[in-house]
Amino acid sequence: MPESVSRRGAIASIVATAGVAATGGALLTGGLNGAASGHAGASDAATPATPSPAGLHGVHQPGIATRQQHYAMFAAFDLQTANLPTAKIATNLQQLMTRWTTVAQRLMLGDPPGPIPGNRPDAPAGSGVADGLNPASLTLTFGLGPEVFDLIGQKERRPAHLRPLPAFSTDRLEPAWSGGHLIAQICADDPQVVSHAFRSLRGQAPGLARLRWSQQGFLGTFGGSTPRNLLGQKDGTSNPKPGTPEFDQAVWAADGEPEWFTGGSYLVFRKIRLDLPKWDLAAARDQDLVIGRRRDTGAPLSGGSEFTAVELGKKGPDGRPAIPADAHVALVRAIPMLRRSYNYDYAVQGITEPIIVEHGHANQDDGHLHEHHSGNSHGSYDSGVLFCAYVRDPEAFIRAQRKLAGSDRLNAFVKHTGSAVFAIPPGSQPGEHLAAALSPSG
Amino acid sequence: MPESVSRRGAIASIVATAGVAATGGALLTGGLNGAASGHAGASDAATPATPSPAGLHGVHQPGIATRQQHYAMFAAFDLQTANLPTAKIATNLQQLMTRWTTVAQRLMLGDPPGPIPGNRPDAPAGSGVADGLNPASLTLTFGLGPEVFDLIGQKERRPAHLRPLPAFSTDRLEPAWSGGHLIAQICADDPQVVSHAFRSLRGQAPGLARLRWSQQGFLGTFGGSTPRNLLGQKDGTSNPKPGTPEFDQAVWAADGEPEWFTGGSYLVFRKIRLDLPKWDLAAARDQDLVIGRRRDTGAPLSGGSEFTAVELGKKGPDGRPAIPADAHVALVRAIPMLRRSYNYDYAVQGITEPIIVEHGHANQDDGHLHEHHSGNSHGSYDSGVLFCAYVRDPEAFIRAQRKLAGSDRLNAFVKHTGSAVFAIPPGSQPGEHLAAALSPSG
């Protein structure tokens, strides 16, 4: 605790100044938090962790233009709606956003999150789980699902492009990992910081919203180079760089959006299971042809190095296209989006139903437990990509995914099992909470 | 790849020398890998990661006396037994141990794991997932479950204290997270390195063994201080320190063990779910009384600072014992074991059954998914401790757990849902694989 107290003191003045300076500069750079953290792309965990001094205040929320941290949890919540009038749901949303904004600001500064609402007065102010931990570049990013604007009676404020994603022919969606009224993206370089933040946010929800699903991912420490996904491929090579016009045009909401949504974005979330045992058995050359890039260097098969532009017309020595027309890179090339994806590896989780096995049943004296045990087949090996795209308009993703669903060579190895889309409100104004413009009286 | 190649070259000479020097010294220090890594207790991830030059060779396996890394995966496997004669099972075990020893040595040096057995010749030698990653202090530690020695027809070589744990009155065990013929403990400071190692080991198993369960945990970056568990308490304060006689006596197998098991140990694994929502609602004072220590400083309630000895007779100002007789620390005090536990937070995983929801069902056009969704109640919030104890004799754990099951104040907040015990063979001899002494011809 003494450590976080002294850190708080040291940071307080930064906040005061950065809050002003950065807001002024953000309109020029188009990425407050990208500018503040001074990083683009995943970098080394050994880099001293930088707290996010401005937190949720600014033109944009943090966790988008921000350097990608090494751990992420995505937690989707549903608003309580049963027997509640529209006005009450709208008020509840404001209350939750007020609480989450307050807690998020504290956590991003490394401070305790404060008391849980309705808790006894002698309860500790926070779980203590992160006492002594650096905030490890924690960012918290919040979004609103397509159903919310009807639920709160504010259709006219719904962001222009916010609607459920269409069904794709290759979807194999699991409701338990799909949809949601609200999303919290929790990213940091320390998983215990992520766990603590999740728990602190969840503690604010009872009576207002309930957890719907959660998913966790990671990115290895690749230093300055492009991180690899679980296919072994460099993933993110063609991402736009924060601070460039390409980035701003790909990511931040524009044309025809309601006024309050200026500085907002959209998050497309897909849980994509990879059939890794099958992939591992493919020939090296076939792996390269599926993606259209060399796995080792990341260079396109049309030649050059990782950052050389993909050349679709280029022929190989055999006279056929160096990059097949149905290679992954051929299909998604030139579709502007910021991919901020994480790898995930739940391996085999077994069951997660409430524990119903009674004492003694599972722990036979003869030590033979395996006859009780089933289901840990290939089918339950759950590893892959938590695909996240921040986009000006989810149509960019839909266009890409329709192409991929139609003919992507990668389809033989992937299964989309989760799907959700959220409008990401702009950063908050100092003294206000996120999405304050959606207040019933606002 | 160029990076790992150059690292390999740099390390080769270390291996050659350390392999000799460390083996000589290990008998004195009683902890080859503790000595080699030069760390005790969890330390900062920013510390340059040290490969384990000696790997599995030496008096003891790595991953026990080794500084505790920030991520862990525990993967339990069952040997294939259906319709196989004993001699074939014994041979299969040797084959798997040969493969795993080879792959583990490569991985701990940051080298690619080599080809998957039976794979096509043009397949890549490894998944590439860790290309460009530092080995991040990876250690791999292997163990044998109680059933193995009967299965391979070598009862006479069974370690003296290896038998299934008895049932405890507070057990609520889930078979899907319990038992197993074999365990692989995979620890590193980078979760992608852990994921890669898991996949590389699993790729060696088909035809010989199958994955039974896996569990993953983490420890925050607490610098030099004692890590906190998800109760917010410092956990591991009274652990013996590697290189001390207390450590050696607590951890390494002794009295009455078969000759081949010299340098071995036992691992007791328990998955302990914590009722964190309930814990968060408890008064700060009650949290301290449950444990018998102050949550903020880790000091015993009998006074002093974190490392002051617990004084059970001490009275508080109210004349009652400062540490209640049923406080956690009062019950487990002075039971010699090395706890090498990890926190885990799966939050809400929803289902992990094979995906059976067909296209279109989950992704209704109206966007209302939540009516299909159930089970994400408190009961499926899965977070807590992956309790790991390395002990000379599991009886130390059994004694502690019997006391705890009887009267621990903490029982109101914990549920033991997974359980397993393994004999941890000694390190291998250069040129040999782990557990080579169990060869049918040996």
pLDDT by residue (tens digit) across B122-151?
888 889 999 999 999 999 999 999 999 999
Ranges of each domain in chain A: 13-116+125-350+374-442
Q: How far is B391 from chain A (nearest CA, A)?
A: 20
Token representation of residue A42: 């995943």
Q: What is the pLDDT of residue B442?
A: 55
pTM for the full model? 0.85
Q: Which of B191, B196, B6 is nearest to B103 (CA)?
A: B196
ipTM tops 0.90:
no
Give the three-state DSSP class for A278.
helix
Cα A269 from Cα A242, distance rounded (Å)? 20
Determine, for residues B179 and A129 on separate chains, whether the beta-carbon distance falls below 8 Å: no
A210, A347, A362: residue with CB nearest B73: A347
- Residue-wise pLDDT tens digits, B232-259: 999 999 899 999 999 999 999 998 999 9
Among all chains, which residue has been given the structure tokens 């370089």?
Answer: A189
Residue type, A152: I
Q: What is the per-residue pLDDT for B335? A: 87
Chain A neighbors of B163, CB-CB under 8 A: 367
**Dist CA A407 CA A384 (whole Å):** 20
The pLDDT assigned to A363 comes to: 28
Q: What is the mean pLDDT of residues A266-280?
A: 94
Q: What average pLDDT does chain B have?
A: 82
Interface probe with B: pick from A173, A200, A306, most Cβ of B within 10 Å: A173
Residue A185: both structure tokens together: 């993206």
pLDDT category of residue B23 using cuts at 50, 70 and 90: very low
CA distance B283 to chain A (A): 4
* Chain B residues with CB-CB distance to A372 below 8 A: 175
Quick one: how far is CA B310 from the chain centroid?
27
The CATH topology of domain B2-169+179-262+427-438 is: Alpha-Beta Plaits (3.30.70)
Q: Which of A215, A289, A348 to mutate to test the interface with B (most CBs of B within 10 A)?
A: A348
CB of B113 closer than 8 Å to CB of B200: yes
Nearest to B198 among A136, A212, A347 (CB): A347
DSSP annotation string for A336-400: --EE--EEEEEEE----SPP-PPTTTSS-TT---GGG----SGGGEEEEEEEEEEES-THHHHHH
Q: Which is more confidently placed, B356 or B169?
A: B169
Average pLDDT estimate for B65-92? 97
DSSP A427: P
Q: Do B173 and A363 touch (CB under 8 A)?
A: yes
* pLDDT tens profile B283-320: 999 999 999 999 999 999 999 999 999 999 899 888 99
pLDDT reading at A38 higher than 60:
no
> A376 and B351 in contact by Cβ < 8 A?
no
Instruction: Please check the confidence at residue B355 and state whether its pLDDT lies above 50.
Output: no
pLDDT in tens, B177-218: 899 999 999 999 999 999 999 999 999 999 999 999 999 999
Spatial distance between the Cα atoms of A179 and A74, rounded to a whole number of angstroms? 12
Cβ contact B195–A383 (<8 Å): yes
Residue of B nearest to A172 (CA): B359
Tell me how crowded residue B288 is: count the other CB atoms within 10 A of its CB.
Answer: 21
Closest CA of chain A from B180, distance in Å: 8
Burial class (CB in 10 A: 0-12, 13-18, 19+), A437: middle
Which residue in chain B has the smallest CA separation from A349?
B214
Residues of chain B with Cβ-Cβ distance to A212 below 8 Å are 370, 373, 376
Give SS3 for A182.
strand
The pLDDT of B320-334, averaged and rounded, is 90
Cα–Cα distances (Å) from B382 to A213, A280, A356, B389, in that order, read 12, 31, 14, 21
- Verify whether the Cβ–Cβ distance A146 to B367 is below 8 Å: yes
Alpha carbon distances (Å) from B328 to A48, A262, B151, B290, B414: 37, 54, 38, 6, 12
Tokens of A7: 């850190």
pLDDT given for residue B90 in this prediction = 98
B388 with B340: CB under 8 angstroms?
A: yes
Residue A352 to residue A69: CA distance in whole angstroms: 28
Section A336-342 average pLDDT: 96
Cα(A357)–Cα(A373) distance, integer angstroms: 12
Strand partners, A348: A381
Alpha-carbon distance B380 to nearest alpha carbon in chain A (angstroms) = 6
Give the least confident one: A18-27, A243-252, B201-210. Answer: A18-27
Residue of A nearest to B382 (CA): A352
Q: What span, in angstroms and rounded, lies between the C-alpha atoms of B442 and B432?
A: 12
- Looking up tokens 């921040």 gives A390
Question: Which amino acid would we find at residue A338?
Answer: L
What pLDDT sits at residue A41? Answer: 36
Residue A30, min C-alpha distance to chain B (Å) = 32
Of the partner residues A45, A75, A295, the one whose CB lies closest to the CB of residue B45: A45
Question: A-B interface: how many C-beta pairs under 8 angstroms?
Answer: 348
Nearest chain A CA: its distance from B58 CA (Å): 30
Of B119, B216, B375, the CB nearest to A281: B119
Interface probe with B: pick from A158, A189, A195, most Cβ of B within 10 Å: A195
B367·A164 Cβ contact <8 A: yes
- List C-alpha distances in Å: A105 to A155, A195, A202, A431: 29, 16, 15, 11
Q: What mean pLDDT do residues A103-112 have?
A: 94
**What backbone phi and psi angles, to 5 degrees, belong to B33?**
-75, -30
Q: How far is B114 from chain A (nearest CA, A)?
A: 12
Q: Quickly list H helices, B180-320.
A: 191-202, 245-251, 276-280, 284-291
**Nearest by Cα to B42 from B207, B291, B237:** B237
